[in-house]
Structure formats: C-alpha cells, structure tokens
Structure 1
Amino acid sequence: MRQMRMSHDEPLLAIDGLKTHFFTREGTVRAVDGVSLTVPRGKTVCVVGESGCGKSVTARSVLGLVDEPGRIIDGRIAWQPGAGEPVDLTTLDPKGERMRRIRGGEISMVFQEPMASLSPMYTIGDQLIETIRLHLPLGKEEARDRAVEQLRRVGIPRPEERLDAYSFQLSGGMCQRVMIAIALAADPALLIADEPTTALDVTTQARIIDLLRDLQAETGMSVLFITHDLGVVAEIADEVVVMYLGTVVERGGVDEIFHDPKHPYTNALLGSIPRMGAGAGRRLATIRGNVPHPSDRPAGCPFHPRCDAAIGGVCDVSDPPHIVFGEARSVRCVLHDDGAAVGGDFRVDGERA
C-alpha cells in the first residue's frame, strides 16, 4: 500500500490524478482521465458538467463501485476521517472488509434514481435496519428504534407506519428521503449525492436541498454533490469543480466561479441559465455541439471543437496547461497562459478584445 502522510488539517477526501478507464471491444473509454479535487471537512463541493463528463464515475470510483469492464488504472484517493495516516482507497479490495466498513459507514452515497436503488421486494424498514445493523452494534429492537428516528429525521410523516411500507407505495420524493435516511444511518463523515434531485419536481427538489443543508449543519458532515443544475450549485456549494470529458477544467469558490469564470466551458454553462426578465421570444443560449464520446476524444483541449475562443494550431494540438491562481483556484486553459499566442486580451464571454 502506498504511504501518504497528512496532518489533520488536510482535506477529508483528496483525489489526485484519478484515471478510471473502461476496456471494451471497441476500444478504451477514458471516462475519468486525471481528475484531482479535494473535499474539505464540513463543506459542500459541487461537481458540475454535462452528462457524459465523468462525474458519476468519479463518485463511484471513490467507493470502489466501478463495474466491469472498468477499473481504476492510476491516481490516489486519500481518505482521512480522523487523526493519523490517510487511507488510499484505490489500494483497497472493493469487496474486502475494510472497504465495506468505509462504504456506508464512513462514506455514503445517494444515487440518482431512488426507485431503482430501493428493492421492491423488501420493506423500507428491512433495508434501513439492515444498513444500521451492518455498521452499528445494535440489536433488532434498538436498530428498529433508530430506523424510526432516521425516517423522522429526514421529514417522513408517521415513520412507524412507513417502516413497514414498500418503495412502490411511496412517492419519488419520499423514496429519496428514505435513501438519504439509509445513507446517513451510520452518521458518515462524507455524503456523496449523485444528482439526488434530477427525477423530482421543483418543489420536492427544493425540500430535498433544504433537508441536506439542515442535516449538514446538524452533523457537520462533508458533501460531494454531483449535479448539472447550476441553480442548485449557487444555493448549496462552498466550492465548485467543473468537469468536461473526464477532466477537471476549472475549480474554485462558488462566488469566484459564478462571478469570475475563467474557462470558456464554465462561462458557457453559466450563459445557458435561463434569466428572469429576459423577455418572451428570446432564444435560450446553448453550447453548440455535444460532449464527444470518451473513446473518441479530440486532440488537444477536449473542449476546443465547441469553444468560440479556441486558437487554431494551439488548442487543437496541445493539452491545455494547468494554471493555478491560488490555493483553491485553478483552470486548464491556454487563454490564461502568459506564454500563449492569444492575439489579444480575452474576456470570458466568448469574445476577444
């Protein structure tokens, strides 16, 4: 096992150069290709980007939930919930006892589709109590009492009755609350939420977001929140990581990202947000083209085929440099490299001066 020494002041989770590839008959799919990010203690880090950018595979890699034919081929995932040396999660057997203790006990995950995550063959209570007893030394009655309290904690009415219900008897919002209750059953230090509000209506989305914020304030847990909804990001994030085609193109504080975006892709995402008072009949801004398939990555900067500020002979040839602006602010773009032949001052609105 690789040895890594960190002080207790270091982040709760530190991902460094993570590469998760899928080896198929058609070729190698570089779903995650060198991702680096950190999750500070007690903070919310939002990972944003279009579908196909590798957000969910990054999250699954943390917990060793990458299905065949995929596997982690490089990088480190340093996990340090307490004092002492961190654990490199990439070195643990995904089916081993140590990883099983971490998964659900120290790090929990809420998935996109609650109806698909809950088994219709077992009651809500069966699934919640099983999780509690797996990670906590409680008897059946104690575990049932804790399960009732967990359901009450996430705002489910009449929790004693809901414990004996099946998932198909509950609404989507109620099922998502159950999933959060299961994820928090053992009081994990980190909650990974993979687009937990995607399939819900707007009112229920707001309630789930408020619930997660309240629970974080109550427990002090860290949250790694994966989403494509920048409205949610503005509401809950402390830090933002922008991903594109398996790489991190920009990271920074939420105010910095929203008010001073450095990467053209971040700027394009922000520009696509519908604006109040924009006027009827005004077309919504879009990002031209689509995210390429990870097995067919363009040369140079992966975003250059869709970028209005791309520089011919530069962006389509060389990988973009990693420019660091501060301890938690960086961007991968040649436009911010002093040595690049940009040909004018660049304003991050898609125009050159």
Structure 2
Amino acid sequence: MSAARPDHDGPLLEIDGLATRFFTREGTVRAVDGVSLSVPRGATVCVVGESGCGKSVTARSVLGLVDEPGRIVGGRILWRPGDGDPVDLAALDPNSERMRRIRGGEISMVFQEPMASLSPMHTVGSQLVEAIRLHLPLGRAEAHDRAVDLLRRVGIPRPEERMDAYSFQLSGGMCQRVMIAIALACDPALLIADEPTTALDVTTQARIIDLLRDLQAQSGMSMLFITHDLGVVAEIADEVVVMYLGTVVERGGVDEIFHDPKHPYTRALLGSVPRMGAGSRQRLTTIRGTVPHPSDRPAGCPFHPRCDAAVAGVCDRSDPPDVPVGPGRTARCVLYDEAAVPASGVV
C-alpha cells in the first residue's frame, strides 16, 4: 500500500444537490432528493439511516452503478483525486472509458452481500487478477503475486492456497475479506463500503472493522461508510451524515452528533440504542411508523408524520432548509430556521 496522499485543497469527494430518480410504471421514485455531503482526504464519513433512506443509491450514484430504470437527474459529484480540475462524475457516461478508469481504479466499493458479489463460477484468484490487470499494466505473473499479497494483507491464511478456492468454499467473513482485497487491488483514493458487516456475526464484524481501519491508516485512503449500526459509527467515523427518505437531515462531527444531536430523527435514532450501565430496565425510544415509500412522500418535511416535535401548519406544509447549527454542522429542521420559528410560535 502507498503512503499517505498529499494534502490538496478541497475535499476528495463533494456531492452537491444529487438527485437520483427511478422512473417506474407506478410513478417516479425520488430515491435521492438533493443530497449534499463531502468526504475529506484521509477521513471516514459514515452515512446512517433506516433502510429505504437512499444511502445505497447515493453510493451507487457516485460510481454510475444505478440500475435501470434509475438515473441521475440533477446535482454534481465532484471528484478531486489530484491537482487538476475536479471531475463531475454525475456528468460522465457510466459506460465511458473515463468512468471505467475511475471505478475500481480510483474509487472502489465493497458491497453488502459478499457471497452475492463474488462469482461462484470463478476462483478467488482469477477474480482478483482480473481486477488488477484491468487497471494496472501488469503481466499475469506479476498480477498473481500482487493478488497473493493482497489476500495476505487482508488477513486470509494460506493465501497461495486460497487463490484456487471458490466463494462457496469460504465463510462469509472470508468472502468479505476477498471483496476488500479486490476493492484495494489498485490502491484507490476512496473506498465506499456499503454495509460491509451486515450479514456477518458480531466477532467477524469487529475483525472487518479493525481491518478497514488498519488498511486506511497504512494507505491514507478516504472512506465513505454506509451503515445503520450506530456502534460502528461511533468507532470509526470522523464525520456523520444522517439521511432520511433521500435527504440529508443532519451532518457534523461524530462527537457533536452523538453528544448533541440536533435533528429529531437523529435524536430518535440515538435514543433507540441500548446504553452500557443504564440497567436492565432502561426504556428505549421507538420511532412510530415506518419510512414512507419514496414514491409516496408526505408533504412538507418528510419526517413530520413520525416526529414528536413536529409543528402543525409548518412542518406539514413546507420542506425545511438546511440550516447551520454550529461550525461545520447543519440540520434540516424548521426548529432551527429563524424565519419559520416566529411564524410557528416555537420558542
């Protein structure tokens, strides 16, 4: 792995007003609706929220992996890997040569289901070698040696033997390590991890998290980590982005988000997590209802039907703006909008 990357101006990845739609027979699904976030160089940004909030679609939009009938309809995805002008990934053809060079070479992704992501028809080694040779000018023998070294780096025992193994011969944890090895094959500047520990047992989850942190420390890469596990967020995040129904409702540093959450949704998420030392009779917060389908969004603030702090006549009518609530922090809530507070009577 390479040493830490040079510190260029601006974030490595900047998403500005991203909108991704799915055009179905039943109507238009606003899966991602004006998402803005940035990933600093060498940092880990965690995107959290319930299932159906648009986290995975946001990640797939970055790499142009949105399946039909979906497509990006607005916003920018600015990629700044070096000293040159940023590249707007949203404007690139997903099948263009430039995007194929970026995808896997400069930005890699680890998917949620490792058993489904690896081909059962090809050996682990052949898939690793293919990923390496696709982006690096190496011969088969050199690519094979690099593949063995990658398997060793991600903690797979007897890597030379595992090169000839198939995915169904490996455990879920081993398959996820192989996926991480493939993602790191070309030393990417950004690793997108889409709930990489969801299907794994607790012990294996901890090992995968430790592995990703160690690899990040060695290479200086940035990580965009998607999860619904707030325990993982507390352990690895530098910054946190909270999403709800395709929008960013709060963002800020991990300490500020956990110790002083601003948005009612963030508070409810944190309140639903058991706390050490709180006793066996601790009561956990529940969020009433479920996340609405993106094609049936409520009017006004998307969270207001489930929000205990909703203001009648305000939250159900207007979509709140993204309001600064501290240095480097924003919350998308009418409670912090000075123009709306007097009208609502909220103190």
TM-score calculated relative to the size of structure 2: 0.96
CA shift, 1:9, in A, is 0.9
Partner AA of 1:14 in structure 2: E
Structure 2 distance, partners of 1:167, 1:337, is 52
Query: C-alpha offsets along residues 78-117 of structure 1, whole Å, 9 cap, x if unaligned?
Result: 0010001000001111011110000000000000000000
SS in 1 for 2:269: helix
Equivalent in the alignment of 1:160: 160
Structure 2 distance, partners of 1:84, 1:301, is 39
Equivalent in the alignment of 1:3: none
- Return structure 1 stretches of 4+ with deviation > 4 angstroms: none
Structure 2 distance, partners of 1:34, 1:90, is 13
Equivalent in the alignment of 2:207: 207
Structure 2 distance, partners of 1:250, 1:53, is 13
Q: Calculate the aligned-residue CA RMSD, in Å.
A: 1.2
Asked if the contact 1:8–1:84 (Cα under 8 Å) also holds between the matched residues in 2, the reply is: no
CA shift, 1:286, in A, is 1.3
CA shift, 1:276, in A, is 2.4
Structure 1 distance, partners of 2:99, 2:322, is 32
Structure 2 distance, partners of 1:60, 1:286, is 30
CA shift, 1:272, in A, is 0.4
SS in 1 for 2:249: strand
Structure 1 distance, partners of 2:327, 2:187, is 30
Q: 1:72 to 1:327 in 2, by over 3 A?
A: farther
Equivalent in the alignment of 2:4: none
Equivalent in the alignment of 2:280: 280
Equivalent in the alignment of 1:265: 265
Asked if the contact 1:13–1:80 (Cα under 8 Å) also holds between the matched residues in 2, the reply is: yes
TM-score calculated relative to the size of structure 1: 0.94
SS in 1 for 2:138: coil
Asked if the contact 1:115–1:175 (Cα under 8 Å) also holds between the matched residues in 2, the reply is: yes
Equivalent in the alignment of 1:38: 38
Structure 2 distance, partners of 1:321, 1:298, is 16
Aligned pairs for 1:37-56 within 5 A: 37-56=37-56
The worse-fitting range, judged by mean Cα deviation, of 323-332 and 77-86 is 323-332
Equivalent in the alignment of 2:148: 148
Partner AA of 2:118 in structure 1: L
SS in 2 for 1:308: coil
Structure 1 distance, partners of 2:283, 2:240, is 27
Q: 1:210 to 1:131 in 2, by over 3 A?
A: same
Equivalent in the alignment of 1:107: 107
Equivalent in the alignment of 1:97: 97
SS in 1 for 2:150: helix
Structure 2 distance, partners of 1:282, 1:46, is 27
Asked if the contact 2:11–2:38 (Cα under 8 Å) also holds between the matched residues in 1, the reply is: yes
Partner AA of 1:217 in structure 2: A
The answer for unaligned runs of 5 or more in structure 1 is: 1-6, 346-353
CA shift, 1:179, in A, is 0.2
Equivalent in the alignment of 2:337: 337
Partner AA of 1:57 in structure 2: V
SS in 2 for 1:104: coil
Equivalent in the alignment of 2:59: 59
Equivalent in the alignment of 1:173: 173
Partner AA of 2:100 in structure 1: R
Partner AA of 1:81 in structure 2: P
Aligned pairs for 1:295-334 within 5 A: 295-326=295-326, 328-334=328-334
Equivalent in the alignment of 1:88: 88
Query: C-alpha offsets along residues 40-80 of structure 1, whole Å, 9 cap, x if unaligned?
Result: 00000000000000000000000000000000000000001
Equivalent in the alignment of 2:189: 189
Structure 1 distance, partners of 2:315, 2:93, is 39
1:133 aligns with 2:141: no
Query: C-alpha offsets along residues 281-313 of structure 1, whole Å, 9 cap, x if unaligned?
Result: 554321111000000000000000000000000
Asked if the contact 2:325–2:336 (Cα under 8 Å) also holds between the matched residues in 1, the reply is: no
The answer for unaligned runs of 5 or more in structure 2 is: 1-6
